[in-house]
C-alpha cells in the first residue's frame, strides 16, 4: 500500500510540474542598459520608450544596448546598435543600423534613432508581460539606398559647408576678439573619399596693466588642404594623396606647403570600424617652408622630404572603450630631426558602479625646424605668441566614478536643471 501511494504521489508531482512551469509569471518588462557615448538623447528616449526599465549598470540589465557612431559622406551619422542579451536572454544578440542625413535636425535624428532602438527591443519584449500591450504600426515609408549612388543626384554626391563665427569677450582690464571662417567640399563613395577644406582664424587680446599702459597680442593662421582616398579593395587596403598650404604666426610660418602620398592596411574589415580597428599607415611627403623670421638654423626658407609610419588600435566592447596609437615622423635629409607621438585612452567598467577613465598623450619632439632665432621675451612666453624649444610634450588625465543606490534610471525631471 505504501508503494502504491508513493507511485501516485510521484505521478501527481510529474503532472503538476509542467502546469506550474506554464503558469510561471513572466517578467513585467525589460531592464535595459543603454551604453551610448555619443549622439543619444537619453531624456527623450526615456520619455518616448517608457515601456522598459532603464538601469544604471549592465549587471542589472536583461539587455545591454551598445551604440557606436561614425560620420557618413553626406555629413550625417551612422549608428550601429548592438543588442546583447544578458541573464535569461544570454546568447540572444542582434545588430541594427540607423543612418541620419546631414540635413536632419536634432529632433529628426533622435526620432529616427528612437524608432530603430524600440524595434530592436521587440524580440526581447515577446518574453515579457509587456508583449500583450504592444503593437507595431506602419507610419510611413522613408526609403533610402544602402549605398551612395550619384544617379538622380544633381549634386553628384558633393556636400558643401560654409561657416563663420566670432567670439567677443571683455571686462574693464582686458578684452579679446576671435574671428573664424571655414569652407569645405566633400564627396564620399565606396571607392573614393574626396575632401577640400579651407579655414582661418584671427585672434587679438588687449590687457590693461597696473601702470595704465596697454599690452596687445595678435595671432592668425589659415590652412587649405585637399585629400583623396582610393579604396583598393572592400575590406583592407586604401591609398591616400594630400596637398596642403597655410601660415601660422605662432609657428613662424609665412607659408607651409606639403604634398604627400600614403598607403593604409586595416587588419579588420572596414565595416567593423565602429567596434574594432587595427590600422597601419605608411606615408611620405615633400615640405616647403617659408619663415617669417630666420630660424635657429639661420634659414628663411627650405624644402624637406619626410616619411611617417603609424599604427592605430581601437576597441569598443561591452566592458568599455580602449584606443592606442603610435606615430613616428622623420625628415629624410637628417633622421635625427624626428617626432614620435603616443596617444591612448581607456574607459573601463571595473565592477558594479565603478568606472575608470584615463587619457594620455606623449610627444618626443626633435623636429622643430621652424623655431625663431634668439630668445623669446617674457611677454611672448606668457601670451604664447611663438613656439618654444622643447624635447617633449605630454598630457595625462585619470579619474574614476562610483555610483550606487537604486538600479533604475527611468524618471526625467528637468526642473531647475539650469
Please provide the DSSP assignment of 108-164 as one string: HHHHHHHHHHHHHHHHHHTTSGGGGG------------SS---TT-TTTTEEEEEEE
Q: Which carries the bigger pLDDT value, residue 69 or residue 241?
A: 241
For residue 148, being part of any structural domain is answered with no
Which domain does 224 fall in, by range?
170-228
Average of per-residue pLDDT values in the chain = 85
26 band by pLDDT with thresholds 50, 70 and 90: low
With vertex at residue 193, the alpha carbon angle to CA 74 and CA 235, rounded to the nearest 5 degrees, is: 105
pLDDT for res 149: 57
Structural domain contains residue 403: yes
**CATH classification of the domain holding 280:** 2.40.160
Identify whether 103 is part of a domain: yes
Structural element, H or E, at residue 44: helix 42-48
| Grid cell in block for residue 86 | 544578458
Q: What is the mean pLDDT of residues 20-37?
A: 73
Task: With cut-offs at 50, 70 and 90, classify the pLDDT of residue 14.
Answer: very low
Question: CB under 8 Å to 38, separation ≥6 — which residues?
Answer: 69
Residue 83, judged by CB atoms within 10 A of its CB (0-12, 13-18, 19+), counts as buried
Q: How many helices (H) and strands (E) does the chain have?
A: 4, 17
Locus of grid cell 585672434: 203
Tell me how long the chain is: 418
Domain identity same for 236 and 376: yes
Tell me what the mean pLDDT of segment 40-47 comes to.
Answer: 86
d(CA 1, CA 174): 104
CB 67 within 8 A of CB 36: yes
Rounded distance between C-alpha atoms, residue 414 and residue 276, angstroms: 36
156, part of any domain = no
Helix (H) or strand (E) holding 250: none
Residues 402 and 286 in one domain: yes
Looking at the structure, tell me whether residues 112 and 35 fall in a common domain: yes
Element (H, E) at 186: strand 174-188
For residue 355, what pLDDT is reported?
86
The answer to whether residue 204 sits within a structural domain is yes
Number of domains in the chain: 3
- Does residue 20 surpass a pLDDT of 60? no
Whether the Cβ atoms of residue 322 and residue 357 lie closer than 8 Å to each other? no
Question: Which region, left, alpha or beta, applies to residue 53 given φ > 0 means left and ψ of -120 to 50 means alpha?
Answer: beta
Q: Say if residue 275 is in the same domain as residue 391.
A: yes
Say which residue, 15 or 70, is predicted with more confidence: 70
d(CA 292, CA 370): 9
Considering the domain architecture, whether residues 278 and 394 belong to the same structural domain is answered as yes
Residue 195: is it exposed, middle or buried by C-beta count within 10 angstroms (0-12/13-18/19+)?
middle
- Do both 30 and 104 map to the same domain? yes
153 within a domain of the structure (yes/no): no
Q: Compute, in degrees rounded to 10, the torsion defined by CA atoms 18, 24, 29, 32.
A: -70
Is the pLDDT at 17 greater than 50, yes or no? no
Q: Per the domain annotation, does 16 fall within a domain? A: no
The answer to whether residues 184 and 114 belong to one domain is no
Q: Is the predicted pLDDT of residue 218 greater than 50, yes or no?
A: yes
Q: Per residue in 291-342, pLDDT tens?
A: 999 999 999 999 999 999 999 999 887 788 899 999 999 999 999 999 999 9
The residue to which cell 604634398 is assigned? 259
Q: Which set of grid coordinates corresponds to residue 175?
A: 578684452
Q: Take residue 56 and report the three cell numbers written for it.
A: 544604471
Of 228, 250, 277, the residue that ends a domain is: 228
Grid cell locating 257: 606647403
Task: Give the range among 8-12, 183-187, 267-271, 378-382 with minimum mean pLDDT.
Answer: 8-12
DSSP letter for 385, please.
Answer: -
Tell whether 38 is covered by a domain.
yes
88, 60, 67: which is closest to 408 by C-alpha?
60
* Most confident of the ranges 214-218, 233-237, 393-397: 393-397
Q: Which residues pair with 341 in a beta bridge?
A: 327, 363
> What is the rounded average pLDDT of the residues 203-208?
92
Q: State whether 211 and 62 are in the same domain.
A: no
At 151 the pLDDT is: 62
Q: What's the whole-model pTM score?
A: 0.71
User: What value does the mean pLDDT take over residues 255-283?
Assistant: 93
* 8 pLDDT higher than 50: no
Backbone angles phi, psi at 140, to 5 degrees: 140, 165
The pLDDT score that the predictor gives to residue 308 is: 98
Same domain assignment for residues 252 and 363: yes
Of 245, 138, 149, the closest CA to residue 199 belongs to: 245
Q: How confident is the model at residue 146 (pLDDT cuts 50, 70, 90)?
A: very low
The answer on 240 and 216 residing in a single domain is no
The shares of helix, strand and coil residues in the chain, as percent rounded to the nearest 5, are 15, 50, 35
302/300 Cα distance (integer angstroms): 7
Domain boundary among 182, 209, 228: 228
**220/307 same-domain check:** no
Instruction: Please report, for the domain that includes residue 43, its CATH number.
Output: 3.40.50
Nearest to residue 74, comparing CAs of 188, 185, 184, 163?
Answer: 188
**Same domain, yes or no, for 238 and 224?**
no
Q: Which of the listed residues 71, 106, 133 is the one where a domain comes to its end?
A: 133
Amino acid at each position: 500500500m505504501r508503494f502504491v501511494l508513493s507511485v501516485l504521489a510521484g505521478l501527481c508531482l510529474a503532472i503538476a510540474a509542467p502546469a506550474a512551469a506554464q503558469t510561471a509569471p513572466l517578467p513585467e518588462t525589460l531592464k535595459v542598459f543603454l551604453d551610448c557615448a555619443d549622439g543619444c538623447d537619453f531624456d527623450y528616449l526615456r520619455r518616448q520608450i517608457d515601456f522598459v526599465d532603464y538601469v544604471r549598470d549592465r549587471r542589472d540589465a536583461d539587455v545591454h544596448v551598445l551604440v557606436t557612431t561614425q560620420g557618413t559622406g553626406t555629413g550625417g551619422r551612422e549608428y550601429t546598435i548592438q543588442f546583447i542579451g544578458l541573464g535569461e536572454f544570454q546568447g540572444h544578440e542582434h545588430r541594427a543600423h540607423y543612418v541620419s542625413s546631414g540635413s536632419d535636425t536634432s529632433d529628426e535624428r533622435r526620432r529616427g534613432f528612437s524608432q530603430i532602438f524600440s524595434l530592436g527591443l521587440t524580440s526581447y519584449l515577446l518574453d515579457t508581460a509587456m508583449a500583450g500591450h504592444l503593437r507595431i504600426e506602419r507610419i510611413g515609408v522613408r526609403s533610402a539606398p544602402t549605398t551612395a549612388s550619384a544617379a538622380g543626384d544633381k549634386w553628384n554626391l558633393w556636400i558643401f559647408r560654409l561657416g563663420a563665427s566670432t567670439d567677443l569677450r571683455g571686462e574693464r582690464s582686458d578684452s579679446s576678439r576671435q574671428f573664424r571662417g571655414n569652407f569645405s567640399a566633400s564627396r564620399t563613395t565606396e571607392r573614393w573619399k574626396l575632401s577640400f577644406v579651407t579655414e582661418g582664424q584671427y585672434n587679438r587680446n588687449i590687457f590693461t596693466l597696473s601702470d595704465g599702459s596697454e599690452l596687445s597680442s595678435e595671432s592668425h593662421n589659415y590652412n587649405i588642404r585637399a585629400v583623396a582616398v582610393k579604396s583598393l579593395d572592400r575590406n583592407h587596403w586604401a591609398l591616400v594623396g594630400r596637398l596642403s598650404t597655410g601660415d601660422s604666426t605662432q609657428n613662424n610660418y609665412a607659408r607651409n606647403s606639403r604634398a604627400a602620398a600614403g598607403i593604409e592596411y586595416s587588419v579588420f574589415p572596414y565595416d567593423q570600424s565602429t567596434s574594432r580597428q587595427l590600422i597601419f599607415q605608411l606615408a611620405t611627403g615633400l615640405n616647403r617652408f617659408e619663415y617669417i623670421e630666420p630660424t635657429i638654423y639661420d634659414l628663411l626658407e627650405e624644402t624637406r622630404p619626410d616619411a611617417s609610419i603609424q599604427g592605430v588600435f581601437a576597441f569598443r566592447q561591452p566592458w568599455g572603450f580602449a584606443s592606442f596609437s603610435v606615430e613616428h615622423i622623420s625628415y629624410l635629409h637628417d633622421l635625427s630631426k624626428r617626432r614620435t607621438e603616443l596617444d591612448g585612452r581607456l574607459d573601463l567598467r571595473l565592477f558594479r558602479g565603478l568606472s575608470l577613465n584615463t587619457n594620455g598623450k606623449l610627444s618626443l619632439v626633435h623636429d622643430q625646424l621652424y623655431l625663431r632665432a634668439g630668445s623669446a621675451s617674457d611677454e611672448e612666453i606668457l601670451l604664447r605668441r611663438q613656439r618654444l624649444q622643447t624635447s617633449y610634450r605630454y598630457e595625462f588625465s585619470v579619474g574614476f566614478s562610483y555610483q550606487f543606490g537604486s538600479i533604475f534610471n527611468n524618471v526625467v525631471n528637468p526642473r531647475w536643471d539650469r
